[in-house]
């Protein structure tokens, strides 16, 4: 059977596209599957020396990160993934977190996150978002 040139191009394009899915992306996707379901397996997917950097919160080490994340999960209601881009050990995710403030108000927080994966676990999170509404809703303002 002969392939037409057009058919070969489609096959090659598909193979190249599939090759863009990285091991790092698999780790991040498993992390968020557990995180979004509020299951504890996300804790197994971070390193002992994980670093978290955000506009309001910072954590060094797994114990601090687990405490910080557990606090966030108490308000977390949903995650809407808008885009995820991966290359080698870096995964960039753009999503919206839906969180519930103590007064019952639901907030949508657009977030950009860079995660670094080392030896099959996440070693660093860099999270960027506008914290002003979050600060007001959670009573963190001075």
Instruction: Tokens 């002003």: give the residue.
Output: 132
Domain presence at residue 4: no
Length of the chain: 142
Structure-token pair, residue 46: 């971070």
pTM of the model: 0.80
Domain presence at residue 27: yes
- Count of domains in the chain? 1
Q: What is the pLDDT of residues 84-125, one digit of tens each?
A: 999 999 999 999 999 999 889 999 999 999 999 999 999 999
**Structural domain harbouring 96:** 22-137
Taking alpha carbons only, the member of 105, 97, 84, 90 closest to residue 131 is: 97
In this structure, what CATH number is given to the domain that contains residue 73? 3.10.450.50
Domain presence at residue 8: no
Domain presence at residue 142: no
């Amino acid at each position: 059977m002969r392939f037409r040139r057009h058919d070969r191009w489609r096959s090659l394009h598909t193979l190249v596209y599939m090759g863009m899915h990285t091991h790092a992306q698999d780790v991040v996707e498993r992390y968020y599957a557990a995180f979004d379901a509020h299951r504890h397996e996300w804790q197994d997917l971070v390193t002992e020396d994980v670093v978290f950097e955000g506009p309001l919160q910072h954590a060094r080490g797994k114990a601090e990160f687990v405490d910080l994340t557990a606090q966030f999960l108490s308000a977390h209601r949903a995650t809407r993934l808008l885009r995820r881009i991966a290359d080698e050990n870096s995964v960039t995710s753009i999503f919206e977190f839906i969180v519930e403030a103590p007064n019952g108000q639901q907030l949508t927080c657009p977030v950009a996150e860079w995660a670094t994966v080392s030896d099959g676990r996440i070693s660093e999170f860099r999270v960027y978002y506008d914290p002003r509404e979050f600060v007001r809703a959670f009573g963190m303002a001075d």
